[in-house]
Structure 1
Amino acid sequence: MASKTHTQFSRSFKIVSVLLCYFIFAGFSVSGAEDSAAKGKVAPLKGEINTSLNEFGISLSEDGNTLYYYSKRKNSNYSDLFKSVKTKDGWSSGVEVSQLNSQYDDQSPFIIENEKAIIFSSNRDGSIEFKLSSGKIGVSRDLYFSTFKDGSWDKATRLPQEVNTPAIEENPFLAGSYLFFTRYPFGKVAESDIYISEYKDGSWGKAIRMESPINTEHAEIAATLSRDSKYLYFSSNRPGGYGGLDIYKVEIKEDGTFSPAVNLGPVINSPGDEAFYIETPDGKNAYFCRLIKEGGNYDIYEFSVNEWEELKKNKKISLESIHFRTGSFEIEEESFEILDRLVVFLNENLSIKLKITGHTDLHGDPNDNLELSRNRAGAVKDYLVKKGISTGRFSTDGKGSKEPIYPEKNPETDRKNRRTEFQILE
């Protein structure tokens, strides 16, 4: 089972050096620096995914089109795994993942790639049992693994004792051959810490508690990594936050050390609780869970960056999030929202003129790509003009496949090479 996790579903994150440096971080401080705070807007996730009950413990598929989470519905005594799919109007109503759910608590799903496999937490039959101080038998929540084959989920298998213990294990996040997760003593969630286990030579290594600046004497849960593997996100109720659980990040430096932990700021963190910060495939927006008030329920929120303020600051930005139909310069409907925000920005900044440049991936004939990129830049201009922006405020160009960000041909580099650049003309 573990070998499948390693060979089929590994991701190229720079984690190896981090593991070697855990124990040199004591004394790092927590920073709330405003210049590091997230800037953008936060709103409940669109569609029918949020209900009057909990939506918590989220995980996003690699392509960004499927969201897994867990919830305890009114017709159940236990929490179950659910999934929702992205539509043009938002996110669909959650559907129970009945093949994976048991007659016990099933929580904290981590979906591997595009639903090829899953790791989740459960106290189902087969979980580790232990004796409580009262003499009664307790059952831990352990991490389980299942693969998706021939249209159905295999029977879930418990990860070995190097990962699972009589304590509670939950909130898994797999990055290459490293598994991050939360552990706390049975019934003592306030003592939560983040652990990591490495898969090597066919087996899982004994899980290690991460040191400062990740873990403190306070609660830390739900570690996730940024899409570019440069940042580790987690939640903590350490002093200096904006509410209960706040989301923090640390930078993973080239030498394997961590920067001080930085609070993501008041746009994302509220007087309530926030956890499970999951970046979208482009690494710019993110989803997370928020509990507004004690005794309420978690909902899923989206954080959206203000791309056009970044344009104003840096004079040039490159966006992968403007999509066209394959082989065409017809703009996909999903891109209208970001272009409409550009219209607002241009109406608020009447002196700004823009150069719009189209780029393609490396597939196809270079001459055809050049023409396609020019037409796509022109289509973006036409959209903005139809929204009332003067045509004299734009110039357009296309580079085809001549200026790739990456020289390789694969789905990830293709996505980054297919982009539209906006540059402020002085």
Structure 2
Amino acid sequence: MASDTHTQSSPFSKTVSILFCYFVFAGFSVSGAEDSPMKGKVAPIKGEINTSLNEFGISLSEDGNTLYYYSKRKNSNYSDLYKSVKTKDGWAAGEEISELNSQFDDQSPFVIENEKAIIFSSNRDGSIEFKLGNGKIGVSRDLYFATLKDGSWDKVTRLPQEVNTPAIEENPFLAGSYLFFTRYPFGKVAESDIYISEYKNGSWKKAIRMESPVNTEYAEIAATLSRDSKYLYFSSNRPGGYGGLDIYKVEIKEDGTFSAAVNLGPLINSPGDEAFYTETPDGKNAYFCRLVKEGGNYDIYEFSASEWEELKKNKKISLESIHFRTGSFEIEEKSFEILDRLVSFLNENPSIKLKITGHTDLHGDPSDNLELSRNRAAAVKDYLVKKGISSGRFTTDGKGSKEPIYPEKSPEMDRKNRRTEFQILE
């Protein structure tokens, strides 16, 4: 199973290794944390994925095109695993993953890479049994693992006793060779804590409860890690929040120390419950689950960052999300929304002038790339001018393939190198 547990590069694993050492043994204070100044828009996720029933426990594939979650439908006595595929109009209606679901509760999936494997929670046959205080036999909910081979899910395997116990284990999140998950005693959700286990030399190490600032005397669930591995997100009902479960984050600093837990603020958190903050591949936007009112159902929401507030703050921003037709400087329609937000930003900030610079990937002739990048920058300017912004507020340039972010050729690196930069001119 060793090869199946490494989901990111070695720098990522190194960061998580530091995180493991500090969070397990440090005992940092949770006092004094302020809200994180999140700016952007929050709305129910686009498409047909949300229903009148629960959509909860989300996990996003590495490419951002498939979303796993669980739900309990009207025709079932148990919760089941579902997945939805991203389309040009949003997200398709969820499809039950019948190969993985059992006649018991199947919950909180974590999809590894682009559906290479999965870890999820279940109380199916084979889960740990124990005796309740009334003498009856109870069944825990344990973490299970399966791989996808030739388009079909292979045999489901329960993780060993170093991870699973007679308590409830759920909400897995795999980062490199480290597995984060939630554990609480049977029937005592209020005592939930976040645990971490390392996969090393072909076996799982005994899971350890994480210390402050993650766990407190209150409930903590659903740890996730940011795409750049700089932040750990989780949910807690500790005092000082906006409702029930709020989403918090802790920063992993370069010197190996960690910030106090910071509430993501009222844009993300509501008087209800929020959990499973899951970043998109670019790390700028995110999905999460929200329960608006007690007795209702969880739905999936989307956070869209305000790119242009970031531009105003840092004076420069580089975007991969402005797309052109292949080998062309014709802007694709799906980029109009972000450019229209730039129009609004420029109307609200009439003194700002911008330099627009185009960049290509490393494929093709360098001189052709240079011309293409200049034409793409000019096309962006033309779009903004047609929307009523004065042409005198822009200058344009193109660097072709001369200034790549990554000096490599691969689909992922190509996507990052193909970008449009905006810089505020002083």
TM value normalised by structure 1? 0.96
Query: 1:19-418 to 2 correspondence within 5 Å?
Result: 19-34=20-35, 36-418=36-418
Post-superposition offset of 1:24: 4.4
Post-superposition offset of 1:10: 4.3
Post-superposition offset of 1:231: 0.4
Cα deviation digits, residues 254-280 of structure 1 (max 9, x gap): 233221110011110111100000001
- Whether the aligned pair in 1 keeps the contact of 2:24 and 2:208 (CA below 8 Å) is no
Partners of 2:5 and 2:30 in 1: how far apart?
A: 34
3-state DSSP of counterpart to 1:221? strand
Partners of 2:338 and 2:235 in 1: how far apart?
A: 29
> Identity of counterpart residues, as a percentage?
85
Partners of 2:140 and 2:325 in 1: how far apart?
A: 49
Cα deviation digits, residues 213-267 of structure 1 (max 9, x gap): 0100100000000000000000000011111100000011223322111001111
Divergent runs of 4+, >6 A: none
Aligned residue in 2 for 1:3: 2
Partners of 1:158 and 1:24 in 2: how far apart?
A: 28
3-state DSSP of counterpart to 2:257? coil
3-state DSSP of counterpart to 2:288? strand
- Whether the aligned pair in 1 keeps the contact of 2:355 and 2:422 (CA below 8 Å) is yes
Partners of 1:179 and 1:199 in 2: how far apart?
A: 8
Post-superposition offset of 1:23: 4.6
* Residue range with higher mean Cα deviation, 236-245 or 152-161: 152-161
Cα deviation digits, residues 90-126 of structure 1 (max 9, x gap): 1111111111111111100111111111111111111
The one-letter amino acid of 2:331's match is I
Partners of 1:378 and 1:93 in 2: how far apart?
A: 39
Post-superposition offset of 1:86: 1.1
3-state DSSP of counterpart to 1:256? coil
Partners of 2:397 and 2:321 in 1: how far apart?
A: 18
- Whether the aligned pair in 1 keeps the contact of 2:24 and 2:209 (CA below 8 Å) is no
3-state DSSP of counterpart to 1:75? coil
Cα deviation digits, residues 164-195 of structure 1 (max 9, x gap): 11111100001110110001111111000000
Partners of 2:325 and 2:121 in 1: how far apart?
A: 40
Post-superposition offset of 1:331: 2.0
3-state DSSP of counterpart to 1:21? helix
The one-letter amino acid of 1:408's match is E
Partners of 2:209 and 2:333 in 1: how far apart?
A: 46
The one-letter amino acid of 2:22's match is C
3-state DSSP of counterpart to 2:249? strand
3-state DSSP of counterpart to 1:234? strand
- Count residues with an aligned counterpart: 423
Post-superposition offset of 1:18: 2.0
| CA pair 232-345 structure 1, distance change in 2 beyond 3 A | same
* Residue range with higher mean Cα deviation, 264-273 or 321-330: 321-330
Gaps spanning 5+ residues in structure 2: where?
A: none
1:18 matched to 2:13: no
- Whether the aligned pair in 2 keeps the contact of 1:31 and 1:260 (CA below 8 Å) is yes
RMSD (Å) for aligned C-alpha atoms? 1.5
Post-superposition offset of 1:83: 0.8
